[in-house]
Amino acid sequence: MTMSDRTTQPGDDLPIRPRGRDVPVPPAAPLADREVPLRSDGASAELHAWLDGEGAAPRQADGHLTPEAELWSRIATETKVRREVRTPPHVAAQIMAALPTARPAKAEPVVERPLAAPAPTETSGLHLSYVAAAVAGATLVAAGVLLGRLLG
Amino acid at residue number 125 = G
Phi, psi of 102 (to 5 degrees): -70, 140
Query: What CA–CA distance (Å, rounded) separates 11 from 79?
Result: 29
State the minimum distance, in angstroms, from the CB of residue 63 to another protein: 18
Residues 88-117 that bind another protein (CB under 8 A): 88-96, 98-100, 103-107
Question: How does DSSP assign 115-139, residue by residue?
Answer: P-PPPPP-S-S----HHHHHHHHHH
Please tell me whether residue 74 binds another protein under the rule CB under 8 A: yes
Query: What CA–CA distance (Å, rounded) separates 148 from 152?
Result: 6
Residues 8-67 that bind another protein (CB under 8 A): 9, 11-12, 14, 16-17, 19, 21-28, 30-33, 36-39, 44, 48, 51-52, 67
Site residues for another protein per CB under 8 A? 1-4, 6, 9, 11-12, 14, 16-17, 19, 21-28, 30-33, 36-39, 44, 48, 51-52, 67-68, 70-72, 74-79, 81-83, 85-96, 98-100, 103-107
